[in-house]
Chain A
Amino acid sequence: MLSIATGELIQIFRNRLVLITSLIIPVVVSAFFIRQHETYAALGSLGYIAAIVMFTITAFGLYATAVTTLASRRQNLFLKRLRSTAEGDAGILAGLLLPVLVLAVVQLTVILTVLAVVTGAPANVALLVVAVLATLAMMVGLALATAGLTNSPEHAQVTTLPVTLGVIAVATWVGISGTENLAWLKRLLPGGAATELTMNAWNGGVAVTDSLLLLAPTLGWVVVAVALATRLFRWEPRR
């Protein structure tokens, strides 16, 4: 698994396009949100900025890159090659996804730390970590499922749009309008509960037990995504 991960890391840094879309753009967008934090805090709250930054990085950095990577490795038969070795399927996927996952974690840590330094520490750091981890799991699961529907890296530009735009839209909706109205709809949409959980962790003022209940929809999406992935994921190109 680690050999595959090392190979992937080399490839990410050799492929400028991937490096820009997965690393640079999410960081630039996040930096913009932090710089304009007063505007966005007035619009929603500081917790909303944390949530939107989290989804910018996990949707464009992690999710879209993971789908593109898997589609590309399948298209040039690299997946089949890896499956000709003694490595198991889980180890292959883990190795392929580990570098983008680690990059996303590093990006999130740095950017949320900067946000905390600029605007003040979050109310509950542990809860924030839980929210981030649940979101990472959901986005990895969705990436595996989407990769099954994606024929090529070019095709990924289209197939990733519903999720990337969807979670950003949901996070914005929940972040700005709160969950007083349509609470259940907002929480059940992918990213909705995670946004609320992130806001609670950053802003404080909500009982931790109530917040933890918000993990259920996000983990539910993980289950749905993994179930879809086991049905949809393909190791070889369609012929």
Chain B
Amino acid sequence: MSTTPVIEVDRLNLTYGDFHAVKDLSFEVRPGELYALLGTNGAGKTSTLEVVEGHRRPASGTVRVFGHSPRDRRVVRPRMGVMLQESGFSPDLTVRESVRLVGRLTRRSDDVDRVLDLVDLTGRAGRKVSQLSGGEKRRLDFATAVYGTPELIFLDEPTTGLDIQSRDAVWATVDRLRENGATIVLTTHYLEEAQQRADRIGLMHQGTLHREGTVAELTRTLPAVIRFSLPVGAPALPLRAVPDAEGKVVVETFGLQHDLHVLLRWAQDHAVELQGLEAGPTRLDDVFRAISN
């Protein structure tokens, strides 16, 4: 497989009047990877995505998609599918008509019924878009993004408003596309989705790339956490611990396995019950919380 990046962003700047939304942002997305662009609210990720998708002109900097300007629709768009954050379908067209129309305009070919089946909208094919629920509209949007199996797919908040079955179905389809080599750019507020699926994560904050790397790289710098409650009159702990707001004991550690072992042995030896014991690696949530601190 080629190692030329699918997306190259170099010193991108974007301004709205006086507001500097994106500042000197550089990153690249490699073929076949799932790159999650995450960030706090107003971090500039939607603005960045809009430039990369070709909807917006940057104030300065260069963006290349498949080596071309993303504004060169004729060349770039047939190779990429876009799921927008807000649906943007005509309420008076039916589901089938919408998929057929947008699908044709991508210049890719596919079978409308196959795509409708993929997102479980076959039963809704003849309904007007205005009669769909929010989740069904998200699925319609996803259907047009994956129509014709593009090489690059932008998923902007793909699972917002979806029930768990639809969410699993969306990810199953994404997994199949990835097996065929598709590159995915994802934004989401469900951090566990990014944690489970992203090859790399770009974490934006105030218009810049605050951190970038694999999930392991991002979480490595923060300690893992062990949390439990102690019964009254328990002996002194073998580890340094602090109480949290709910009165639970919190142990932060970079050696989770070792410290957990120490703790459990101590509990066993002293016959102490560690109530509500939780132990886990650092989650992306914690990385996010660490940004604003």
Q: Smallest distance from the beta carbon of A116 to chain B beta carbons, Å?
A: 36
Chain B residue nearest to A1 in the complex (CB): B105
Query: Are A85 and B90 in contact, with the CB atoms below 8 A?
Result: no
Chain B interfacial residues counted at CB < 8 A: 24
Residues in chain B near residue A7, CB distance under 8 A: 90, 93, 97, 101
Q: Smallest distance from the beta carbon of A9 to chain B beta carbons, Å?
A: 11
In residues 70-118 of chain B, which contact A (Cβ within 8 Å)?
73-74, 77-78, 82, 84, 86-93, 97, 100-102, 104-107
Query: Are A86 and B84 in contact, with the CB atoms below 8 A?
Result: no
A-B Cβ contacts below 8 A, count: 68
Q: Smallest distance from the beta carbon of B127 to chain A beta carbons, Å?
A: 13
Query: Are A81 and B77 in contact, with the CB atoms below 8 A?
Result: no
Chain B residue nearest to A88 in the complex (CB): B73
Known: A86-B78, A87-B105, A88-B73. A14 touches B88 (CB 8 A): no
Cα A236 to Cα B16 in complex, Å, equals 15
Cα A236 to Cα B53 in complex, Å, equals 15
Q: Smallest distance from the beta carbon of B95 to chain A beta carbons, Å?
A: 13
Query: Are B101 and A4 in contact, with the CB atoms below 8 A?
Result: yes
Q: Which of A3, A15, A73 contacts B101 (CB 8 A)?
A: A3
Residues in chain B near residue A119, CB distance under 8 A: none
Q: Is A83 an interface residue (CB 8 A)?
A: yes
Chain B residue nearest to A72 in the complex (CB): B90
Query: Are B90 and A78 in contact, with the CB atoms below 8 A?
Result: yes
Interface of A is mostly: helix
Known: A84-B77, A84-B82, A86-B74. A3 touches B104 (CB 8 A): yes
Residues in chain A near residue B90, CB distance under 8 A: 7, 11, 73, 76, 78
Residues in chain B near residue A78, CB distance under 8 A: 88-90
Q: Smallest distance from the beta carbon of A223 to chain B beta carbons, Å?
A: 26
In residues 125-174 of chain A, which contact B (Cβ within 8 Å)?
none
* B residues at A contact (CB < 8 Å): 53, 55, 73-74, 77-78, 82, 84, 86-93, 97, 100-102, 104-107
Sorted nearest first, the 9 A-B pairs with minimum C-beta distance are: A77-B88, A85-B105, A81-B88, A86-B77, A84-B82, A86-B107, A11-B92, A3-B104, A14-B92
